[in-house]
A and B are shown apart, each in its own frame.
Chain A
Amino acid sequence: MHIEIEELAKEFGTERALHPVSLAIPSGALIALLGPSGSGKTTLLRILGGLEFPTSGRVLFDGSDATGLTVQERRAGFVFQHYALFKHMTVFENIAYGLRARKRRERPTEAEIGRRVNRLLDLIQLPDIGARYPSQLSGGQRQRVALARALAIEPRMLLLDEPFGALDAKVRKELRQGLRDIHDTTGLTTIFVTHDQEEAMELADLVVVMSMGRIEQVGKPAEIRARPANDFVRSFTAA
């Protein structure tokens, strides 16, 4: 699914989180929203997922207006910064949640739910943890379960908020490749938020550099490195 963002702005009270920004995201791309805290990258991600609504501007999914779609209608697989796994449910139930939440007519049978959850557990390479609770998992395992849970709803896009932020350096490197692989397998348009320029440059097809609620530059990692649009981009990506 390709996504277009037209003059999107967001105000919280008197504070401007997002100045009117425009962006076109090609179908199947892996995009990084890169910027320091307060740059508006998470706000933009949450607007795409339907968790916030813009003050003005439009969002188009495959060319049709999606600005007013509810969070449920968007079918965006969302991975939160600290994963927000349901503590009182097993890993299996966490992943099955979105399937069970479907309307009766669209809900898969119990056997089908089981098959899909197991397939997702294979995909994240953790086939044997279905019966465990989130508190019994490591940080990296939690992140992958959150990813599987988001994928279970057969999302139209994948949105990840600082997906590697809470992990140590070694696990981070491994999971980067994991996300790349999953993106390549599923072909989903994937957008992730990060403040780590190395992570953005290494993983993304296209990097969107943001600061103070504005988009400073959009480009392939090599382009941004070679021709930073301004001083902010130069200093931020040089770090």
Chain B
Amino acid sequence: MSDITFIRAESVTTEPRLARGLLIGGTMALIAVLLFAPLIAVFAEALRQGWAASLDALASPDARSAIRLTLIVAAIAVPLNAVFGIAAAWAITKFDFRGKAFLITLIDLPFSVSPVVAGLALVLLFGAHSTMGAWLIANDLKIVFAFPGIVLATMFVTFPFVARELIPVMIEQGRAEEEVALTLGASGWRVFFTVTLPNIRWALLYGVLLCNARAMGEFGAVAVISGKIRGETTTMPIMIEMLYNEYLSVAAFSLAAVLALLALVTLTLKSLLEWRHADVLAATRRH
């Protein structure tokens, strides 16, 4: 026997084989039970009566209007939140001002407040019983129980995603590159588009993808403010719940499967971008 047999192959940070096996196995089991199984169940339930029945259910006017509404709401709320998120992150990281800490806390508010409360707050603010609501109704501007209300609620709930993703990246990068660009004669907008935006593009993309996934899936706030008017203000999550409560399980699960697919597409897109640009990410991202 040579001494080589006694040299441990593992690195110092590696746990004993048993602990490693338990940790990895446990995690895998948990993921399988908590994440994977429900997803499979949704698709299985949707296809229980075959493809034809599922596709029929999706072709119904209610389902089609729900899909359309969800996509349009996301298409408006996500770009707006991207712009607001960039503006908020820019203000917080590039300027010093009073109340900055308060603003950072405020950005997190939608994460800590229950979406239902957010929906109720918006109804109170824009509903018929408030001054603003009365004025809006007098001027024939519908917000509550209408499309604008759904967009507002979605924006409220998904506001933090982009800003939260950008702030740490922008803090780490500091202001030096922007200052250099200014001394070289660039205008503020030019600095933003040629220096700031290229530096934050990956974080921005992550934020937008997460924001999009959440925007399409939002239930609580939208449920309150939309008034659940069938075929008019029902987004996909609301429609799914309504169908489910009416024991139309194939229709409910078919729509749920579509929503899950949309989320999976988002995740795949994110992984694909990470994989394609792994080298750039490694060079510019350290968290």
Contact = CB atoms under 8 A, between A and B. Distances in A.
B176 A153 contact: no
A19 interface: no
B184 interface: yes
A51 B177 contact: no
A86 B177 contact: yes
A71 B179 CA distance: 9
Contacts of A76: 183
Nearest to B186: A101
A87 B187 contact: no
A87 B183 contact: no
Nearest to B195: A86
B61 interface: no
Contacts of A74: 183
A49 interface: yes
Contacts of A72: 182-183, 185-187
B28 interface: no
A50 interface: yes
Contacts of A85: 177
A135 B180 CA distance: 18
A78 B195 contact: no
Which has the most chain B C-beta neighbours within 10 Å: A49, A78, A85, A149? A78
A31 B179 CA distance: 22
Interface residues of B, number: 18
B179 A135 contact: no
A50 B181 contact: no
A135 B183 CA distance: 22
Given A82-B176, A84-B176, A84-B177, A77 B183 contact: yes
A200 to B, nearest CB: 23
Contact of A98 (B185, B187, B284): B185
Looking at A71, A84, A150, the one whose CB has the most chain B CB atoms below 10 A away is A84
Contacts of A51: 179, 182-183
B12 interface: no
Chain A: interface residue count, which band? 20 to 34
A72 B189 CA distance: 13
B190 interface: yes
B176 to A, nearest CB: 4
B84 to A, nearest CB: 24
Contacts of A172: none
B177 A71 contact: no
Interface string A87-100: 11000000001100
A71 B176 contact: no
A225 interface: no
A135 B176 contact: no
A85 B176 CA distance: 9
Contacts of B181: 86, 97, 101
Interface string A184-207: 000000000000000000000000
Interface of B: 176-177, 179-187, 190, 194-195, 198-199, 283-284
Interface of A: 49-51, 71-72, 74-78, 80-82, 84-88, 97-98, 101-102, 135, 149-150, 152-153
Given A88-B198, A101-B187, 15 more contacts: A51-B182, A71-B183, A72-B185, A72-B187, A76-B183, A77-B183, A78-B179, A81-B176, A85-B177, A87-B284, A97-B186, A98-B184, A98-B185, A135-B283, A149-B180
The 5 closest A-B pairs by CB, nearest first: A98-B184, A84-B176, A101-B186, A78-B183, A88-B198
13 contacts: A51-B183, A74-B183, A77-B183, A78-B179, A82-B176, A84-B179, A88-B284, A97-B194, A98-B184, A98-B185, A101-B186, A135-B283, A149-B184
